[in-house]
Amino acid sequence: MRDYKDGGPLSEVAVWSAVLTVQADASGLDTRSLAASVAADGQDGYVSLTTVLQIPGEPGTADVQLQFSPLPNGVLTSVEPEDMAEAALSLRDLPGISSVSVLQHGDPVSVTVASPATWTDLAPAIRAIPGFGSGAVSSVTLATQHDTGESSTLTFDPRSPAAELVPVLSEIAAAKGVTSVSFNGVDTRKEFSAWRPSLRVTVDTRSARGLVAARLTGLDDSDSSANGLPRASFTASTGGIDASQDLRGYLGLPLGSAEPDDRMTGLPGAVPPAAVDPAAAAARLELDRALVTALLDAAGDAAGIRGPASVTTETCVDGENEQVQGAVVIPIFEIADSADEAFDAITTEWGVQGYIRSDRAMGRDFWSVPDGSLDTLSIRGTAEGISIMVTAPCVLL
């Protein structure tokens, strides 16, 4: 593992990422206190550290795994360690569960079960747990590893899938010729946008594929609709590279039906975006240009030398709207033998401004901006100097 921040091998602990696994003794354990202690110890230092706390189950209870990690780029959700422990404890005693894994930043809790046949009883039992649907247990994935190496999963929250659909999914997963089932009904929309639940069933023969499609298209509305949410789509596939032979459709509708016009439904508080004022959009882009330019200039001032910054307005990935993008390589080696001091000065200033280092990939540190004024912000060392890249949010046009 190498980094060219100072032209050679890694020399700063801040550029390392590490995973630490802590194995606990189940006897007489205060799970909440241990979770808080392990999480706190993992945050002590500069290394980007993911800490995994493993707690073996006692007879009749499931194994527990709690994973504490730095805040990912663009994610602002973080669950307290004690709440993660509480979530695991509320699930580990349920019958049929072999393990419970709780993550820290809003991902579904992973619950391993021996067979999809348990879904019918477990899903309503989990939904009945006080507090389910928020905090550490906002959603759950029931997962089964099959002998063939395939796995089946059911990801659900309080609203989706409909209670009547869970036994159907359990039945299909156990049907002859079915090798895996994957249903995701968790609505992760944070703003007005299109979405629908999805189901994928993999089978080992064409005849099984047809039977599955017939079962799904023949569902009643009570089975296929969930509390006003969009109707789920499905794919019945034999796997392999020839996806053109997959059967695709929507639960309870004949094959070949047009896509239901319901992908915007079910989002609490969803309001269509107001008509865009061109003058307001242009003013927003101008403000973003000023913000990005100022950030890049300030980074150069903190380092002691400015680089040639590029600040442009580009089309967003949706192909319709625009955002301001900026980049600079600060030529630090013109004034110093090492980039370390300048690198630290820049990131220290970002921390003072409330920015949060949230991720690291390919030698680049990613930072989150809690007020949403920037979409992405990253920094890394290169052989030419310190590279900084930044984008502002997309502006509707």
- pLDDT one-digit tens code per residue, 335-348: 999 999 999 999 99
Residue 270: pLDDT over 60: no
Residue 183 gets the label, from left (phi > 0), alpha (psi -120 to 50) or beta, of beta
pLDDT, one tens digit per residue, over 164-195 is 999 999 999 988 889 999 999 887 655 445 67
pLDDT at 7: 42
The pLDDT tens digits of the residues spanning 64-111 come to 888 887 766 555 567 788 888 888 888 988 998 999 999 887 789 999
Cα diameter, the chain: 72
Proportion of the chain above pLDDT 70, given as a percent: 81
Q: Does pLDDT of 44 surpass 60?
A: no
| Contact in structure between 141 and 108 (CB atoms under 8 Å) | yes
Does 15 score more than 60 pLDDT? no
- Are β-strands 17-23 and 48-55 bridged in parallel, bridged antiparallel, or unpaired? parallel
pLDDT at 156 over 60: yes
For residue 161, whether the previous peptide bond is cis, meaning omega lies within 30 degrees of 0, is: yes
Give the whole-angstrom CA distance, residue 289 versus residue 358. Answer: 24
What pLDDT is recorded for position 13?
A: 47
Q: Which two tokens stand for residue 379?
A: 């920094």
Highest mean pLDDT among 158-162, 237-241, 364-368, 378-382: 378-382
pTM greater than 0.75 (yes/no): no
Query: Which residue type, as a one-letter code, is found at position 1?
Result: M
pLDDT the model gives residue 4: 41
Decide if pLDDT at 6 tops 90: no
So what's the pLDDT on residue 27?
Answer: 58
Tokens coding 235: 């794919």
